[in-house]
A and B are shown apart, each in its own frame.
Chain A
Amino acid sequence: MKKTMSRSVISIILALAFLLGLGFLCVKYMIDADLWAAQSYNPYMVSGQGLANAGDILDRNGVVLATSEEGKRLYHENESTRKAMLHSVGDGSYNIATAAETAYRDKISGHSKIFGYGLPESLKGKHNLTLTLDSDVCTEVYEAFENRKGACFVYNYKTGEILTMVSTPTYDPLNIPENIEDGSYLNNCISSTYTPGSIFKIVTAAAGFEHIENYENKTFTCEGEKKIGSSKITCLEEHSTLDLKNAFAYSCNIAFGDSALLTGRENMQKTAENMGINKSFRIGEVYTAQGNFDVKKADDISLAWSGIGQYTDTVNPAQMAILCGAIAQGGETRLPHYVKGENSGKSGKLLSEEVAQNLNDLMRYTISDYYGDSMFEGLTVCAKTGTAEVGEDKLPNGWMIGYSIDEDAPLAFAVVVEEGDYGFYSAGPIARVAMLGCAESLRN
């Protein structure tokens, strides 16, 4: 019988394996239970109108943006505010990926690993969520879009807190229209990519500083257009001879097409990738869309166009703001988040301190000597505008990205207006509203 005893150890091995599996299940429960519970099909979460029993969502000043009363989900009283905050708050469904009601549903649903959803209403605490956004500024920004499509993203590059995140088209979560406009579910700040146009000259200039000797003292000649092979690149004006600073401020296409050609394919590709153009950045619980820069198989004319943000180049607004935040801080920035107390980590080194300083000088010059500091009263801003061609029958997209270097208002921004035409005239005023509003919000 001893033999039977020793052979039957196989059953003990199986039993121990089972207990191990049970332990694994418990560990999985400890890690993932909130996620398992926060599924959109879970009847405990979805009853009545969406998140019927979920906690409040507040803005940075304690303004209630969403709340639940008697099994109904309610939103801010002002329609513009509701529309401005749609992509950061939600609409009671899970259609908008970046909305706090979707991305942070486990936090507001009142789920607990100990009691599950088993606590009676009287014993349940409210699980509120405070955003870092300023809903007043967002509302002003939304109104400044004047029904045009686009995105406006502003964050404090020292703390990572996003103050403004507005995406249009949008809709009213309290009166959801039957036919929702295409793209309304998308938060353009985080989830969309656009052709960058001239704002991409920041990347081209960075590549120049890295790979072309004595780049800061280089001069360029612009005759309005330049033949490359059998084709040509064109500029908006005939700039004749200009130095780098003015080529950047005047946004001369010929200068930066030349610059890209001088830098070369491999070096352009390397710099763009280091600066995170083809990367996706973490923003709290969500990730930015990846931009695109790929000149590995481009011919010369395409390489030149890629240097001025055309060709197949695309970027994402939040990503551009992150790049600006990195330039402001010598090459690295804290990644943005929009829920208080979150930490998205750091961007990693996007560019060297020296290149960041050089870019800072160019972007500062653009505002101080070209557009004028009166545009951002009370702030010291470095920026670049862009006007991106998107097709024959469409007006160009207008861009403005940049940052302020004020100690008490360290803000980086990116604004894009679809078919807005000149960046300075379309994105500029929105950037102004956003930056002044956010600065005031920080300074109070």
Chain B
Amino acid sequence: MVQGMADIAIIGLRILLSFYAVFIVYHIFASMRRHKRPEKPLLMLYNRRFDIKIPVLFWENSIGRSKRSDIVIEDGTVSRNHCVLLRRKAGWFINDTGSKSGTKVNGKKTFGRTQVFIDDVITVGGTSLKLLRGEEYDEDIRPSWFFSKASRKPSVSSALLLILVNLFHLFMTAEICITTNSLNTNALLIFGAVTVFSWVIYAFSYGVFSRKNFELEALALWLTGLGSLLLVEQDMSDALVQVASAIMGAVLYMAMLMFIKNPDRVIKWRWAIMIAAVGFLAVNLIFGTIEYGAANRIYIGGISVQPSEIVKIAYIFVGAASLDYLQTRRNFLEFIIFSALCVGALALMGDFGTALIFFITFIVISITRSGDYKTVILALVGATFAVLLVLNFKPYIAERFSIWGHALDDPYNLGYQQAGTLTSIASGGLFGTGVGSGNLRYYGASETDLVFGIVSEEMGLIIAITIAIAICGLVFYARAMTTRSRSTFYSISATCAATLLLTQMCLNIFGCTDILPLTGVTLPFVSAGGSSMLSCWGLLAFIKAADERTYKAG
């Protein structure tokens, strides 16, 4: 009878935990959706001749004859992409982007970025526009669907959100204690470390940087803690490495936010970043040791590092740029060459999963920054040939792919990992068999490649799917912020960083569940692995930076 009651309590806890996860993710996104913006435009341009009031809505605005410009001037003497009106810390600037007739401020022709002030008259082609304050614009601005629930108050306060996350980890710790039938000090240690760590980040965010919003950090901390606690019963030293990497990741996150505070500074650094990234990959190619079929790690002072993970951050740096930069330099040959070098190096290492992540990110960046579909199609054709060549010359890779779609037919050999994952997912059901109790953890590389299966088996399919939806939600969030960012540098980098995480998750989840070929990449924030953890936090910084409140007005 007592046993029966205890059993019901355990099942109850697991069911509770599943819906609690949904609750947390719901509140993270509900809070994001409440981000409020001023209802008035930032500035207003007044066309005195035709008495037209044009709101200036964004931090960077293209002005031109093209219908897709942010500020459309219907004047034959205006170029399609004439100039860019942009806001920086020092104020507002106008930058002619190679127009035929040039741009004048108060009648004087401009060269490069030229500061403009209220009441200045900007002349593009034959049209003159007077710069006025945004308050003088008297029409409503429609928010995007994502932010349609804007409000001054968040749905839950940031501190409460973090407490919700801490509580989730506490429940997980309790489950580990139940599974191991002891007061599991390892689990308590990890729980304590993650909790302290999360409040230190909170303190930094509020105290040092005076940021009011904490949703992204809460999400990352939730997943980080979840992944670390899953590792406790598998390999305690891995769990400790995981927490330590997350701390380093958080430091990187803060450092990056400071570094990209000025998007124009990043442009100056792009060559240095590119060279460093290529160099890093080259070192990997030379000194890399083969593990799990791919030579994608190097050892620095006994610590295993995966350069490709860090290069992901560099890749986004190089890919994004501010609007006037994009309009002046249409071709992005250097970026294409850089991409080819990255993808090529990864393919040589045998890390095809990461190569694919880079390739898809390349496509997304290319389209987002240029709208140049021709280049993209060309790249796709090139990549198809490359894949065919690889399959031709490296038959063992083709063999690995041959099991795709029917892993259960060969569960002891080629389909070993996928079949084990499917079986574990089914064994866990919707609510799991209890954290620390699963069987999939005994599979090779399960803590990285098959972690979706481990979560499913031990915590249930509901939590596993909730994690997937939460990471996928970052893409919607990042994209909704596109026009709210302080620069296209942020909007492009946020969207692409989120898509990179999505692609990686896609390959991880669908790879281990036999929907796509298994390529062996990590599940962001959850899979074990120091480099992966570091790069996830780094990529998160791009999304954070796209939120205009991240950097206080000025």
Contact (Cβ within 8 A) A1 B491: yes
Nearest-CB residue, chain B, relative to A2: B70
CB <8 Å contact, A41 and B429:
no
B299 at the A interface (CB under 8 A) = no
Question: Distance in Å from the Cβ of B108 to the closest Cβ of chain A?
Answer: 27
Interface bin, chain B: 35 or more
Contact B364 A14, beta carbon cutoff 8 Å: yes
Q: Which residues of B contact A442 (CB under 8 A)?
A: none
- Interface flags for A1-42 (1: CB within 8 Å of B; 0: not) read 111111111111011001101101110110011111101011
A385–B488 CA distance with the chains assembled, in angstroms:
87
Q: Is B237 an interface residue (CB 8 A)?
A: no
A33-62 vs B, CB cutoff 8 Å, 1 = contact: the mask equals: 111110101111000000000000000000
Contacts of B368 in A (CB 8 A): 4, 7-8, 10-11
Q: Decide if B510 touches A21 in the complex (CB within 8 Å).
A: yes
A-chain residues with CB within 8 Å of residue B509 when the two chains form the complex: 21-22, 25
Residues of chain A contacted by B60 (CB below 8 angstroms): 1
Given A8-B482, A37-B427, A41-B423: A26 and B465 interface contact (C-beta under 8 Å): yes
**Nearest-CB residue, chain A, relative to B484:** A1
Inter-chain contact A118/B14, CB cutoff 8 Å = yes
Smallest CB-CB separation from B81: which chain A residue? A3
CB neighbours (8 Å) of B460 from chain A are 116, 118
Which of A107-115, A164-172, A355-363, A366-374 contacts the other chain?
A107-115
Asked whether A14 lies within 8 Å of B502 as measured between CB atoms, the reply is: yes
Residue A176 lies at the interface, judged by CB distance under 8 Å to chain B: no
Name the one of B70, B426, B476 contacting A12, with C-beta atoms under 8 angstroms: B476
Complex-state Cα separation, A21 to B502, whole angstroms: 12
Residues of A within 8 A of B355 (CB): none
Contact assessment for A118 and B432 in the assembled complex, using a CB-CB cutoff below 8 Å? yes
**Is A120 among interface residues, defined by CB-CB distance under 8 A?**
yes
With contacts A11-B475, A11-B496 taken as known, whether A114 is within 8 angstroms of B430 at the C-beta atoms is: yes
Residues of B within 8 A of A (CB): 3-4, 7-8, 10-11, 14, 58-62, 68-70, 323, 360, 363-364, 367-371, 408, 411-412, 419-420, 422-423, 425-434, 439, 457, 460-461, 465, 468-469, 472, 475-476, 478-479, 482-483, 485, 488, 491-492, 495-496, 498-499, 502-503, 505-506, 509-510, 513, 515
Residues of A with C-beta under 8 A to B482: 1, 4-5, 8
Enumerate chain A interface residues (CB-CB to B < 8 A).
Answer: 1-12, 14-15, 18-19, 21-22, 24-26, 28-29, 32-37, 39, 41-44, 111-120, 122-123
Q: Nearest Cβ in chain A — how far from B251, in angstroms?
A: 28
**Complex A-B: 20 CB contacts under 8 Å:** A1-B58, A3-B62, A10-B499, A11-B479, A11-B495, A14-B499, A14-B503, A33-B425, A36-B425, A37-B426, A39-B423, A111-B427, A114-B430, A116-B427, A116-B431, A117-B429, A118-B14, A118-B428, A118-B429, A122-B4
Q: Are A8 and B427 in contact (CB under 8 A)?
A: no
**How many angstroms between the C-alpha atoms of A1 and B71 in the bound complex?**
10
Distance of B74 from chain A, by nearest CB (Å): 16
Residues of B contacting A44 in the complex (Cβ-Cβ under 8 angstroms): 427, 439
Q: Say how far A159's CB is from chain B's closest CB, in angstroms.
A: 33
A298 to B217, CA, bound (A): 79
Please, which residues of chain A bring their CB within 8 A of the CB of B364? 8, 10-11, 14
Chain B residue at minimal CB-CB distance from A40:
B411
Chain A contacts for B68, CB-based, 8 A = 2-3, 6
* A5→B482 CA distance, assembly (Å): 6
Judge whether A116 and B423 touch: CB under 8 Å. Answer: no
The reply to whether B62 and A1 contact each other, CB–CB distance below 8 Å, is yes
- The reply to whether A115 and B495 form a contact with Cβ atoms under 8 Å apart is no
Dominant SS among interface residues on chain B: helix
- Which of B70, B426, B505, B506 counts the most A-chain CB atoms under 10 A from its CB? B426
A-B residue pairs, 5 tightest by C-beta: A116-B429, A37-B426, A36-B426, A120-B7, A33-B426
Cβ of A435 to closest chain B Cβ, rounded Å: 41
In angstroms, how far is the closest chain B Cβ from the Cβ of A205?
A: 43
Q: Which residues of chain B are near A25, meaning CB under 8 Å?
A: 509-510, 513, 515
Main DSSP-derived SS at the A contact region:
helix
Instruction: Please tell me if the beta carbons of A4 and B488 are within 8 angstroms of each other in the complex.
Output: yes
User: By the criterion CB–CB under 8 Å, are B426 and A34 in contact?
Assistant: yes
Q: Which residues of A contact B476 (CB under 8 A)?
A: 12, 15
**Chain A residues with CB below 8 A from B408, complex form:** 35-36, 39
Q: Give 10 new A-B contacts, CB below 8 A, not counting A14-B475, A118-B14.
A: A4-B491, A7-B371, A25-B510, A25-B515, A28-B515, A36-B425, A41-B419, A116-B427, A116-B457, A123-B4
Question: Is A116 a contact of B465 with CB atoms below 8 Å?
Answer: no
Contact A113 B479 (CB under 8 A): no
* Docked complex Cα distance between A39 and B427 (Å): 10
Known A4-B488, A118-B433: A18·B506 in contact at CB below 8 Å = yes
- Write out the residue numbers on chain B whose beta carbons fall within 8 Å of the beta carbon of A1: 58-62, 70, 323, 482-483, 485, 488, 491
With both chains docked as a complex, state the minimum distance between the C-beta of B48 and any C-beta of chain A, in angstroms: 25
B517 CB → nearest A CB, Å: 14
Chain B residues with Cβ under 8 A from A21's Cβ?
506, 509-510, 515
Indicate whether A118 sits within 8 Å of B431 (C-beta atoms), given known contacts A11-B475, A18-B502.
Answer: yes
- Give the shortest distance, in Å, between A17 (CB) and chain B (any CB): 8
Q: Which residues of B contact A117 (CB under 8 A)?
A: 427-429, 433
| Chain A residues, Cβ within 8 Å of B430 | 113-116
Most buried by A among B411, B419, B425, B469: B425
CA distance A29 to B428 in the complex (A): 11
Given A42-B427, A117-B433, A118-B432, A15 and B62 touching (CB < 8 A)? Answer: no
Contact B425 A29 (CB under 8 A): yes
Residues of B within 8 A of A123 (CB): 4, 7-8, 11
- Bound Cα distance from A28 to B510, whole angstroms: 12
Give the residue among B61, B369, B411, B461 with the most A Cβ atoms within 10 A: B461
With A and B bound together, what is the CA distance between A36 and B468 in angstroms? 21
Are B367 and A116 within 8 A (Cβ)? no
Candidates A8, A18, A28, A37; contact of B491 at CB < 8 Å: A8
For the complex formed, measure the closest distance between the CB of B534 and the CB atoms of chain A, giving whole angstroms: 23
Q: How far is the CB of A37 from chain B (nearest CB, A)?
A: 4
Q: Contact: B502 with A10, CB < 8 Å? A: no
Q: In whole angstroms, what is the CA distance A239 to B260 when docked?
A: 105
Least CB distance from B15 to A in Å reads: 9
What is the bound-complex CA distance between A116 and B428, given in angstroms?
A: 5
A114 → chain B, closest Cβ, in Å? 5
Contact between chains at A36 and B423 (CB < 8 Å): yes
Check B495–A8 contact: CB distance below 8 A. Answer: yes
CA distance A113 to B428 in the complex (A): 9
Question: Residue of B at shortest CB range from A39?
Answer: B423
When the two chains form their complex, are residues A112 and B488 in contact, meaning their CB atoms are under 8 A apart?
A: no
Inter-chain contact B468/A22, CB cutoff 8 Å:
yes
Give A357 to B422 CA distance when docked, in angstroms: 52
**A67 CB to closest chain B CB, in angstroms?**
22
CB distance from A419 to the nearest CB of B (A): 37
Establish whether residues A8 and B4, one from each chain, have CB atoms under 8 Å apart when the complex forms.
no
User: Which residues from chain A contact B469 at a C-beta distance below 8 Å?
Assistant: 19, 22
Chain A contacts of B370 at CB under 8 A?
7
Report how far A340 CA is from B353 CA in the complex, Å: 48
Q: Which interface residue of A3, A12, A33 has the most chain B CB atoms within 10 A?
A: A3
Q: Shortest CB–CB separation between residue B409 and chain A, in angstroms?
A: 11
Q: Is the CB–CB distance between B423 and A42 below 8 Å?
A: yes
Q: Which residues of A are found within 8 Å of B4, using beta-carbon distances?
A: 122-123
- Contact present for B483 and A41 (CB under 8 Å): no
Complex-state Cα separation, A7 to B502, whole angstroms: 18
**Contact A7–B7 (Cβ < 8 Å):** no
Q: Which of A4, A10, A44, A114 has the most CB of B within 10 A?
A: A4
B432 touching A116, Cβ below 8 Å: yes
* B412 to A, closest residue via Cβ: A41
* Most A-side CB within 10 Å, residue of B419, B420, B423, B498: B423
- Report whether B422 and A14 are in contact in the complex, using a CB–CB cutoff of 8 Å: no
Q: CA–CA, A278 to B358, complex, Å?
A: 53
CA distance A118 to B156 in the complex (A): 33
Q: Which residues of B contact A8 (CB under 8 A)?
A: 364, 368, 479, 482, 491-492, 495
Closest partner residue, chain A, to B10 (CB atom):
A120
